[in-house]
Amino acid sequence: MTERAWDQDAGVVIRRITNYYTVRYHGEDYMCLPRARLKKEHVRIHVGDRVRLDELDEGNKTATVAEVVERFNLLPKPAIANVDQVVLVFAADQPPFNPLMLDRFLVLVAQSGIASAIALNKADLVSPQVRAEMLAPYRELGLPVVCTSAMAGDVQELVDLLENKVTVFAGPSGVGKSSLLNAIEPGLQLKEGEVSAKIQRGRHTTTFASLYAIRGPHGDCLVADTPGYSHLDFGTMEPKELGWYYPEMTPHIPDCRFPDCLHRGEPGCAVKERAHVPDTRMASYLRFLEELEANQARLASTSLKVEGKVKQSGETKLVKIDASARTASRRLDRQRLMDFDLAEEADLDEDLEADDLEETEE
């Protein structure tokens, strides 16, 4: 992963409450309002944004957000900008290690274009040999992999991984995400299970993601307080795309005889002939492939039905096909893990966007 060199003089937005932003700047938190011009120009400010500050009051720890530095990515719902990595937290046991789910997360994170790392927690529950076997396929991929035990306070490797980065923790519940954060920074005092708790959002209580700032020896670690990825569906990905999210396969894919090869026994498949894909990884690949094919079939049958209806009703057909197809694909999109939050919140989120606009138009 490329290190991003930020302007040393930019702060990071770590929290938002209505129009107040908490900005971490040189290891201190400042309460900030955005400059009026930003509101007028409808410049959005998200948690994770790098911002330049003005009117800095060191005593009262207040400032004005003068400018937002161009962001390099934005995870939606809840929005977090400039995410450097997703650390996939899995337990070695209790719940049992689940390579299928880990592979699913890896594909989905890769799809969003963000780097993954793996933390195998509850390392105290299995022997070093068992851990090594579990992690071998992922070490081979060159992914950053660390073993931790939140219980034993063994978290140093993870801390090293987090330093100077914005990180989102993801993974099944019960694997120890909150425990890990507490072990890293006892001051956070998260309730166990808190990181994976559903974000409560009523109509009038808008919650935004926030970042925990953990002071490291060489800079802050910023960790999102959201589990993010909660929908583990691939959405509208095409079956032939899947192989591109398996780094063991990618160098060989261009050499397959058929451009739409699914690497499932087609003649002249270079992946089959030359790629070294561990058994568990191949099993997950084949399983996800079936799922993508089923999604596609479902989508195709939806659009066929729509077309049928439209033919009978005559005039408005183009518009109708359009709208229905869009709804179908939106529904799928909403299920995507990349959507980053709970589906039922999508509508609330649209309200939120509207509120935001009203706010800026005051």
- Paired with 201 in beta bridges are none
Contacts with ligand GDP by CB under 6 A lie at 121-122, 124-125, 149-151, 173-179, 192-193, 195-196
- Closer residue to ligand GDP (CB): 176 or 239: 176
Distance CA 270, CA 273 (A): 5
Residue in the block written with tokens 């999109």: 333
Residue 83 binding: pick among Zn ion, ligand GDP, none (C-beta 5-8 Å cut-off by kind): none
Shortest CB 131 distance to ligand GDP, Å: 12
263 binds, among Zn ion, ligand GDP, none (CB under 5 to 8 A by kind): Zn ion
Of these partners, ligand GDP, Zn ion, none, which one is at the site of residue 173 (CB under 5 to 8 Å by kind)? ligand GDP
Cα–Cα separations (whole angstroms), residue 355 to 18, 40, 108, 160, 341: 10, 15, 30, 39, 19
What are the φ and ψ backbone dihedral angles of 147, each rounded to 5 degrees? -105, 140
CB of 149 or CB of 295, closer to ligand GDP:
149
Spatial distance between the Cα atoms of 32 and 61, rounded to a whole number of angstroms: 9
271 binds Zn ion (CB under 5 A): yes
| Residue in 23, 269, 332, 337 binding Zn ion, rule: CB under 5 A | 269
Closest CA to 148 of 73, 224, 88, 208: 88
One-letter amino acid at 193 equals G
CA 255, distance to chain mean position in Å, is 31
Q: How far is CA 223 from CA 109, 158, 291, in A?
A: 16, 12, 32
# of chain residues touching Zn ion (CB under 5 A): 5
Identity of the residue, 50 or 263, whose beta carbon is nearer to Zn ion in the bound complex? 263
Contact partner, 175, from ligand GDP, Zn ion, none, Cβ < 5-8 Å per class: ligand GDP
Instruction: Choose among Zn ion, ligand GDP, none what residue 137 binds, the Cβ cut-off being 5 to 8 Å by kind.
Output: none
> Smaller CB distance to Zn ion: residue 273 or 347?
273
Residue 315 CB, shortest distance to Zn ion, in Å, is 46
* Residue 90 vs 285, nearer CB to ligand GDP: 90
- Close Cβ partners of 208 (under 8 Å, ≥ 6 residues apart): 15, 16, 17, 47, 78, 79
* Residue 51 binding target from ligand GDP, Zn ion, none, CB below 5 to 8 Å by type: none
- Quick one: which of 243, 210, 122 has its CA closest to 171? 122
Which residue, 192 or 241, has its beta carbon nearer to ligand GDP? 192
- The one-letter code for the residue type at 306 is V
Shortest distance in whole angstroms from residue 89 CB to ligand GDP? 6
d(CA 242, CA 300): 19
Strand intervals (E) in 191-230:
211-216, 219-224
**From the list Zn ion, ligand GDP, none, which binds 76 (C-beta under 5 to 8 Å, kind-based)?**
none
Identify the bridge partners of residue 233 per DSSP, sorted by sequence position: 336
Nearer residue to Zn ion within complex by CB, 214 or 271: 271
Residue 96 is encoded by which pair of tokens?
């049992």
Residue nearest to ligand GDP (CB): 176
The contact pattern for Zn ion, residues 229-268, with x = CB under 5 A and - = no contact, is ---------------------------x----x-x-----
Q: Which residues bind Zn ion (CB under 5 A)?
A: 256, 261, 263, 269, 271
